[in-house]
Structure 1
């Protein structure tokens, strides 16, 4: 019995929890596992985690989340690139040492009517924001030390067969270097390059990196910023579509009898053409062999209803291009 007890105690004191980097997956509830990917797994953020609400995402707090009241709860760090909102009377009460950072473009706000001191963000038992303060846009930081860099923008643009990454910092503090990471699923990431940081700067700086071998399909990118003391922080995620086919135009638009789809392809391939009506129902679907370069596809609209229709092109079951067009009366 004593041996079993010792084994259990040894396991307890030698097992550590791995804190996660949690990214929002879209609009959702803070306490819903589907809202988050934490170290690649759907899970609700917890003690010690670093949480990123991504650009364009709205995460809503509908519970009274009292992390401050959990014994031994490690500091949590929240970065709001999108929107963090609270329904009436609900809160995030974070442990001591935590921080909430809202970069430019981010927002913390109350959802709906009502509000006051019961709807709040607290750190170490002290309210840093309440609904009575009104909507709080970035840039602002509460709690722990501010992010070592103030990232104004991070973009990815397809340039023929390469992807050009650009990012701008408004200021840098103790910034050693950037690591550029790439993924095809936002779960497994690979390092594709590094770039020296400015150390300390209070002026706007521009950085660029060229990915010469992006994935075929969607490539996701993020920046990992590392301090001189080894601490790191991760940016929002950006992406590009690198498909070998592009739907240039449809004409005439509106069409009465026939319509022409102009496609450009980097290689010979077989794609699937789908025609949808205004209700999103597939009206016609067929496979088409296309050649490298320009392709003009003439299509009769006799079977299509008047009004808005849509052409969608897919490769291997994935839509890669679409355009709306009108059919006349």
Structure 2
């Protein structure tokens, strides 16, 4: 017989015996809760029991490990400490039971691929008394008369999924943890349909000297119809509840208070109350010690419910509290942020922090659109003079196909701001920063900060998750840095153009977290980048704004990125060409993409595009490097990367001279070698400084022999005449020669007109006689000039030289007879 006694702790125990189970207990020692437990255990043991032996293995599904075979849906399965080592049961695959009892050193493990489904229990679904449970898989509990999970002096570690009441009613609490330790390590807990047969109960209770730690997700009332009665989360006695940073507790659809605390409650994560459904009582009723002081602590009360801090309670806030109560809340001290979005107020006896934020506050009461007045606290769409606070409410804000404006924007913890593909958000004139992000920002449109007036110290200060996904960001006039990543993650996958005020110490600065210029990102700007938390993960870095200087205040790795550099000349870095400065080691091996707008480089030109303390490696890919330019590492000095221009001329010029003749100016030049030489354009300099073409002489293609060329300028200008040769290749490339000059007499020049002529020619600036030569230099006509005219109508059409003696020399000019 198996006998049971109920000690003062209210738990039923077996006593020695034989035959069918019977029970004995001492009523004088029976507590009220113990009596309930006795009744429930009697009910459970009215059906078949099977007890864990573990005689064969640790496999739940092996019949020989149980006294009456593997439990089925009608069985109460009990697990106590195993007599043999390493034979505690492990559930893999699907397991079922009506009730599972883990007691007196028993240990139950649900593996990652395991599922335990408990239903139709007349007592606790899972009763853990001085035992331990580790769930790495799935635990489903439905249709139980008392508590889904009842714990006393037990240990429960959850790394998997727990669903209580999702598909069936729970008579009392979903989880009742009394003097036990419960750790929700990395799993999720969902509790619904509790308190079906009880009043004044809680969906999840932590009592006695118990400890409950949440590092993951707890959702209470997330499934319709929510809770039948009672509170969402109930903490009492000497218990301790710790919601760690990263933990999320969501409570909705309660009949009484959302969270009742009569013990010690510390929140360093997020608590959402009323986001999915109404709360029947207070959002939080506190008569114990409530600590919400961590920088990551966040409480969002989306429903119209207050925080009620009882006279015996202490409630300290150093994090963020956002509520939508029309009534008045009370806390003890505020050193953080408290905002009411629905007309209520806060009674806070002490603390220096502001009770409400100024400016416009997002409520999202109607929809997700920025330009809908009913979505804002004051029912007004923000203007360019408004500081905007985006709170974590049920509806996230979206800047759609509009041009939204603000003085500054703050995105609170767990809030989300999305700028759509056609959306524009313009921020200008903030006191501290243009955009402060503590939640999530996704930009697929256009974000403009400080382009009109300074946004304050920073264009963007990021403490959350910021993703420039497919949009463009432009920042200017920040006094400390265009982008300051205090913590969190900033990812640029599109376009960022950053500027600052002239005296700003940084372009990009960071305190922690990570800034990534992703593979599809382009970052351009002039200024200093703190590289401690910055990485260029395949993106493009483009110094300046055509052009500029980008400085890294420490080592920088360019091996997985593209460095885009523009070269317009050899002047000053940042004005004539882009330059990157690295105050440390520059690791290369990535891509160098060059853009040249340099029309007339000369041999010896050098442009220093990277100036580092030291270089490591070389660029694996270089694009856009024109002919004649070379890339030089550690030249002219160690740590420097320069571009140098050195051209091997297609024509080797031996001499180039100019000589004054009576007929004009003769140019002579000689080459010793020619390659692909089409010929020479002869250019003469005008008084304006421009050069004009005055003739062309064919070249000799490709040759290794000396070649002599000449050209006669029959119409030189008075005074100095400057000439140069524009040597032209057959492929269109050109080279310019040196410049030569000849001074012509400043006296009166010989002029004839019309030229070309058909008959009568007018002559000015000469004597009384004229001599005309054909193109071969043979005389064809001579005679007197009558009334400064001669008749050449009898000459054949062609080219002629007309010479007129003057007092000191003979002046000649070309003439064309038509």
Q: TM-score with structure 2 length normalisation?
A: 0.17
Greater radius of gyration (CA): 2
Q: Which has the higher strand share?
A: 1
Higher RCO structure (Cα 8 Å, ≥6 apart)? 1
